[in-house]
Chains A and B, each alone.
Chain A
Amino acid sequence: MKIYFYSNQYLNNKDARDIITHFKKIGVEVSSNLDSTKATGTEGMSLDKVDALVFQGEKLDTKASYLIALVLAQNKEVLCLLPHGAKPDSSLQDLGTDSKLAKKIHIELYDQENLKEKVLAFLKIIDSGDIRNLFSIKYTLRLSGKIADYLNWKADRQNIKKADWLRDQIQQIMQEDEQYSEFIKNKFQ
C-alpha cells in the first residue's frame, strides 16, 4: 500500500513524524513533501500510483487543495488530519457534505492521544476500499512448460481466461488460509 503524505507545517512538526512512523510500522510505503530525499519526492513516482492522500495541518494551502482535488478526481481516499481546535476550511467542509465525495474525504480532528487511532482507522478504510480490489497490479510470472500446459488445458476446459482462473484460485486459497485471516484481523492493532 502506498500513501502520499502532505503537510504545510515544515518546522518541528512532531505530529507529521508520528503519522509517518505509524504508517511505516505497519508496512505502508509513504512518500511525503517533508522528505528531502530524491527517492520519495517528485522522482520516479506519480500521484496516480498512490492509494490515498493524507493531509496534516491547520489550514489548506494551494498545493494541498490541488493534491486533494486531484486524488478525489482519481476516486481515491483522502484523510485530512487537523489538530484539535483547528477550524476546518469552508471549502473542505463543503466537500465533506457533497453526496459523492463525502465517502472519499475524511476530515478528522486529532490530539496526541488519538492520533494513532485515527491513522489506523483510515488504513482499514483504504484496505477494504474499491481501489484495493481492482486488478491493477501487473506481474510477470515465469512457468515451466508442464504448468503452462496445465494452465492452458484448464482455462480452455472451463472456458475462462488463464488470468481469471489464477486469480480465482488465489482468492480461494486466501479465504481458506486461517493464519492469514488472523494476520489481517490484527494488522492494524
Chain B
Amino acid sequence: MAKNNKKIFLILAGGTGILNERGYLLSVQSKDDIEDWLAQMPELNILADIEPIFVSGEDDILGSDIWHKIVAVISDKATEADGFVVVSKIDQLINTSLALTFTLQNLKQTIVLTSSQVSGTSFIDKKEIIGGLKNKYGGLGLRSNIINAIQIAGQPLPFPAIIFGTRLIPATKAIMDLSNNTNIFSSIDNDYWGKVDFGINVKSNLSYSKQKTKIYTDRLADILILEDIPGVPWSFDKKALATYRGIFITINPYQPLEKSKQEQIAKWKLPTILYNYQLTSPVKGAVNISHCTKNTAIIKAMWALSSKVKDNKFEDLMARNILGEFLE
C-alpha cells in the first residue's frame, strides 16, 4: 500500500469499459464483474486502500434514480473515507458531477468523477471507435483516468470535479469538447483546477467554503427540457406536463420570446426556467438564468425543485450563486 494508505471508495456506475490484454472490452455490469475488472489494473494497489462499490451496471439508464443511489452511498461512507472516485458514463458525466455537487454541498471528502472513453457493453456498434482509440492511445484511457482520480481524491477540493485526460475541471464549468480525444471535457472559461504532466498539479489558490455540510437525499425532480426555435409553436397543452415538476427552455439571447409562448408559460403555472448563456429577456412567471453552463442550469433546477429543497423559494434558489456556478 502507499505510505499514507488513504481510504478511497471507488463507486461504479457505468463508464467502466476497459480493454484487456487480448483487446476484448471488459466492463462492470454487475457486482460479480468487479474482481476481474479490478484485476486489469493491479497498479491501483500501490496508490491507496481502495474499496469498490457497485451502484449500477454499464448498460443501466443513468439518471436521477442512480444519482440518488450514489448520494446515499457517499453519505453512508463519508465518515470512513478520505475521498471518493465515481466512475460513470462519459455521456452523462457532467450531469452526474453536477447532481453530486448540488446534493452533497460542502462535503469534507473530495469527490472526483471519471470515465472510460466509451460506455455500454455492446462492442459491434463501437468497434471502429474502440479500434481507433486503441491504435492511437493504446486503450480507452480508463486506467490513467482512475489513477489520476485516486491521486486527486486524496487531496482537498472545494466541490466535485471531473478528471479526464490531462484536465481537472470543476463540475460547474465542465463542457464537452468532442474535437479532442484526449481531453473530451473542457472548462467553459478555460479555468482548470489542475493539470496532469509529470504529476498532478492542483491549483493552490482554490477557495473553500466554511459552511456546514448539507446533504440532500431526495431524488432530483423530473423536468421537461425544451429548445425554443422562434416561429415553431409549442404544440402541447397543460395535461402533457402533468408528470413534470418544471420546464426548462433554452431560448435565444437577443430576440424576446413570442407573445403566444409567453401566454402559454403563464397558463401552465409550472416553474419555468428560461436559459441562455449570454442573456435572456424577462418573461412574467418564468425564472431567467444566464452566465452558467446549460448543464449546471438544468441540474440546479432539478435540485431546486426536489421536495426537500422546495420550502425555499424556487426563484431565489435559482438566482443565488450557491457554489460559484455563475461565472463572472
Q: Give which listed residue, A41, A63, A69, A89, contacts B44 with CB less than 8 A.
A: A69
Contact B21 A69 (CB under 8 A): no
CB within 8 Å of B: which of A39-83? 41-43, 45-47, 59-63, 65-70, 72-75
Closest B residue to A97 by CB, please name it: B42
Write out, one digit per residue, whether chain B residues 1-37 have a CB within 8 A of any chain A CB (1) or not (0).
1111000000000000000010000000000000000
Q: How far is the CA of A98 from the CA of B21 in the complex (A)?
A: 14
Looking at the assembled complex, report how far the CB atom of B323 sits from the nearest CB atom of chain A, in whole angstroms. Answer: 28
Looking at the assembled complex, report how far the CB atom of B22 sits from the nearest CB atom of chain A, in whole angstroms. Answer: 12
- Does A91 touch B at the CB level, under 8 Å? yes
- Does A155 touch B at the CB level, under 8 Å? no
Question: Contacts A42-B201, A45-B197, A70-B147: A59 and B43 contacting too (C-beta < 8 A)?
Answer: no
Q: Give which listed residue, B43, B138, B197, B199, contacts A72 with CB less than 8 A.
A: B43
A-B contact pairs, 19 of them (CB 8 A): A42-B197, A42-B199, A45-B198, A46-B197, A47-B197, A60-B3, A60-B46, A66-B147, A67-B199, A70-B147, A73-B147, A75-B138, A89-B46, A90-B1, A91-B2, A91-B45, A94-B42, A95-B45, A95-B46
- Chain A residues near B154: list those with CB within 8 A: 62
Q: Give which listed residue, A42, A60, A68, contacts B43 with CB less than 8 A.
A: A68
Contact A100 B196 (CB under 8 A): no
Looking at the assembled complex, report how far the CB atom of A133 sits from the nearest CB atom of chain B, in whole angstroms. Answer: 13
- Chain B residues near A45: list those with CB within 8 A: 197-198
Q: Give which listed residue, B45, B196, B199, B201, contacts A94 with CB less than 8 A.
A: B45
Q: How far is the CA of A59 from the CA of B200 in the complex (A)?
A: 21
Question: Contacts A42-B201, A91-B45, A101-B43: A59 and B147 contacting too (C-beta < 8 A)?
Answer: no
- Does B109 touch A at the CB level, under 8 Å? no
Q: Give which listed residue, B44, B138, B143, B198, contacts A4 with CB less than 8 A.
A: B198
Which residues of A line the B interface, CB within 8 A?
4, 31, 33, 41-43, 45-47, 59-63, 65-70, 72-75, 89-92, 94-95, 98, 100-101
Q: How far is the CA of A69 from the CA of B46 in the complex (A)?
A: 7
Question: Contacts A70-B148, A73-B144, A74-B138: A65 and B46 contacting too (C-beta < 8 A)?
Answer: yes
- Chain A residues near B1: list those with CB within 8 A: 90-91
Q: Give which listed residue, A31, A59, A61, A72, contacts B198 with CB less than 8 A.
A: A31
Which residues of B line the A interface, CB within 8 A?
1-4, 21, 41-47, 138, 143-144, 147-148, 151, 154, 166, 196-201
Q: Give which listed residue, A43, A61, A73, A92, contacts B143 with CB less than 8 A.
A: A73
Looking at the assembled complex, report how far the CB atom of B299 sits from the nearest CB atom of chain A, in whole angstroms. Answer: 31
Given contacts A91-B1, A91-B45, 8 further A-B contacts (CB under 8 A): A42-B198, A43-B197, A60-B2, A63-B199, A65-B47, A69-B44, A70-B43, A73-B147
- Chain B residues near A33: list those with CB within 8 A: 198
- Chain B residues near A69: list those with CB within 8 A: 43-44, 46-47, 147
Closest B residue to A61 by CB, please name it: B3
Q: Which of B1, B4, B147, B201 counts the most chain A CB atoms within 10 A?
A: B147
- Chain A residues near B166: list those with CB within 8 A: 46
Q: Which of B2, B41, B44 counts the most chain A CB atoms within 10 A?
A: B2
Q: How far is the CA of A41 from the CA of B199 in the complex (A)?
A: 10
Q: How far is the CA of A94 from the CA of B39 in the complex (A)?
A: 13
